[in-house]
Structure 1
Amino acid sequence: MTWIDWAALALFFICWLGYGPILSFISRKGGSLNDDMTHVRAMWMRSMTHREMKLIDSQLMGHSINSASFFASTNLLLIAAV
């Protein structure tokens, strides 16, 4: 392997191992996507309990679960193909 290959491999591992700590550092300041989505979900669940028509909420929840499952399985296929 050439020195460019070694440099690319080192950069890959630095990015791979540094992603978690950098994300934790950024999220301590607030405004992380996970915190925002947790807040949105909590507000949606609270408002869902006060509505009469719960069928739409259940359909949205089912669609969200199916979308996440499809996304995860597609990513596994892509990773396996690579």
Structure 2
Amino acid sequence: MNRPNPSPAAMKPPHRRDISARQDLLGRELRQLFDGYSQEEVPEDLLRLAEQLEGAFKRPEKTPQAAISSGAGAPSKPE
């Protein structure tokens, strides 16, 4: 025979100790999973991409004011 499912109101909330034990287990398993990834070498393609991105952020950009004073973006006069 099938038992009727208890209504959500009739279900008791889990005990705080049970929640803590589940969180501890989940934390241990996640650390174990990601510790393996952190020990792997970074692929060369990814290292090159990271270097390109780093270089892009270090490059000085022209500010709009500097571009205006240098004449960049100014409309040319028709001849």
Check whether TM > 0.5. Answer: no
**Greater RCO, 1 or 2 (C-alpha within 8 Å, sep 6+):** 1
- Mark the structure with the bigger radius of gyration: 2
| Structure with the bigger percentage of helix | 1
TM-score bracket relative to the smaller structure: 0.3 to 0.5
